[in-house]
């Protein structure tokens, strides 16, 4: 068992790539699994919160200057940067990149931060604050830039937040209080289980969009290449945003910037911007393949800031 856990932890990227590959080759079960994405995310966050001190999350959120800075950078500055730099070349691509980067940090980013050995408490606080502000900032950006009237159902957004973030958080703290010894003994399994869950989620998302991806292979290739450049820049920007943090904190800010809630972007694109839907789906490819090299780069850095 210990060898399996070490293998999953060390080569997690192979499992994510395998999920993508199987989804493209044999997507037979993807439609059946799609309704299970939200419960899978909740389970992932539940296991992350079992390893995280919620008091640290609340402490991070009490630092209002840090919260305001991170929120502005993630939800306003970065999306506007990608929109303005891409607009002279292609308006639809610019809209797509702004929609993608304007999304809050993904609900899975604390789990990904855990895999990358970063500060999960900081990552979780960024998820919560960016998710709470997203219903305001997303439509505001589109209106200010005179793109379109993007209406968001506030109640549904907050309901999803409660399901994806707060319910796992509260449940994890109850379990930690009731069964502390069991959690301590089994905590080494949580990261590996999250890797397997994430691989299944990748399979479902890619498999459900297989026909769309294969419809225009030339366009898919250049859009995927562009997305890799964007996601690499997001890692760098996120790392620089955490300039006041220690090494684990910088990993958290980088992951929070690069691993946004692209599932929400896919839904919004389907409702309001169908012309950029394929770009949103393709974001799953760099989203699921760049964490492994990022972790390796971080592991080779001297830990002088820890």
pLDDT confidence of residue 306: 42
> pLDDT-derived band of residue 263, with 50, 70 and 90 as boundaries?
confident
Secondary structure class of 105 (helix, strand, coil): strand
> pLDDT-derived band of residue 255, with 50, 70 and 90 as boundaries?
very high
Mean pLDDT, range 257-264, rounded to an integer: 86
> pLDDT-derived band of residue 79, with 50, 70 and 90 as boundaries?
very high
Mean pLDDT, range 211-227, rounded to an integer: 86
pLDDT confidence of residue 152: 56
pLDDT confidence of residue 101: 95
- Report the C-alpha gap between 41 and 281 in whole angstroms: 18
Name the most confidently modeled range: 5-9, 116-120, 158-162. 116-120
Helix axes 54-62, 64-72, angle to 10 degrees: 80
pLDDT confidence of residue 109: 86
pLDDT at 138 over 60: yes
pLDDT at 150 over 60: no
Q: Considering Cα of 287, then 293, then 296, then 298, what sign does the dihedral take?
A: negative
pLDDT confidence of residue 6: 67
Query: Cα–chain-centroid distance for residue 117?
Result: 15
pLDDT confidence of residue 193: 83
Share of the chain above pLDDT 70, in %: 87
pLDDT confidence of residue 305: 46
pLDDT confidence of residue 227: 96
pLDDT confidence of residue 42: 81
CB 195 within 8 A of CB 15: yes
Hey, which CATH number is domain 31-298, 3.40.50.970, 2.40.30.10, 1.20.1530.20, 3.40.50.1820? 1.20.1530.20
- Report the C-alpha gap between 303 and 233 in whole angstroms: 22
Mean pLDDT, range 219-246, rounded to an integer: 93
CB 165 within 8 A of CB 45: yes
Q: Which of 34-38, 155-159, 253-257 has the lowest mean pLDDT?
A: 155-159
Higher-confidence residue of 149 and 302: namely 302
Own/partner pairs for 89-95, CB < 8 Å, 24+ apart? 92/275, 92/276, 93/223, 93/226, 93/276, 93/279, 95/147, 95/273, 95/276
Q: Which of 6-15, 165-174, 272-281 has the lowest mean pLDDT?
A: 6-15
pLDDT confidence of residue 259: 92
Mean pLDDT, range 204-229, rounded to an integer: 85
- Interior/surface letters 271-301, b for 16+ CB within 10 angstroms, e for the rest: ebbeebbbbbbbbbbbbbbbbbebbeebeee
Share of the chain above pLDDT 90, in %: 22
């Amino acid at each position: 068992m210990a060898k399996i856990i070490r293998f999953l932890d060390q080569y997690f990227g192979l499992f994510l790539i395998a999920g993508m590959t199987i989804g493209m080759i044999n997507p037979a079960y993807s439609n059946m699994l799609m309704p299970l994405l939200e419960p899978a995310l909740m389970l992932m966050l539940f296991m992350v919160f079992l390893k995280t001190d919620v008091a640290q999350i609340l402490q991070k959120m009490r630092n209002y200057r840090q919260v305001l800075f991170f929120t502005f950078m993630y939800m306003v500055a970065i999306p506007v940067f990608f929109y303005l730099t891409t607009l002279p070349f292609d308006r639809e691509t610019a809209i797509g990149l702004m929609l993608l980067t304007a999304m809050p940090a993904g609900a899975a980013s604390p789990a990904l931060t855990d895999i990358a050995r970063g500060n999960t408490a900081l990552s979780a606080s960024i998820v919560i604050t960016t998710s709470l502000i997203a219903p305001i900032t997303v439509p505001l950006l589109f209106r200010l830039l005179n793109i379109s009237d993007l209406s968001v159902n506030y109640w549904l957004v907050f309901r999803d937040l409660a399901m994806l973030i707060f319910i796992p958080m509260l449940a994890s703290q109850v379990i930690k209080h009731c069964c502390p010894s069991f959690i301590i003994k089994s905590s080494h399994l949580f990261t590996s289980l999250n890797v397997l869950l994430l691989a299944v989620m990748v399979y479902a998302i890619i498999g459900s969009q297989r026909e769309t991806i294969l419809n225009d292979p030339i366009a898919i290739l250049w859009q995927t290449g562009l997305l890799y450049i964007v996601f690499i820049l997001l890692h760098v920007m996120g790392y620089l945003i955490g300039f006041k943090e220690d090494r684990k904190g910088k990993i958290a800010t980088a992951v929070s910037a690069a691993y946004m809630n692209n599932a929400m972007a896919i839904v919004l694109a389907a409702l309001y911007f169908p012309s950029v839907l394929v770009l949103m789906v393709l974001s799953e490819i760099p989203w699921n393949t760049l964490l492994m090299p990022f972790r390796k780069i971080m592991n080779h850095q001297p830990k002088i800031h820890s």
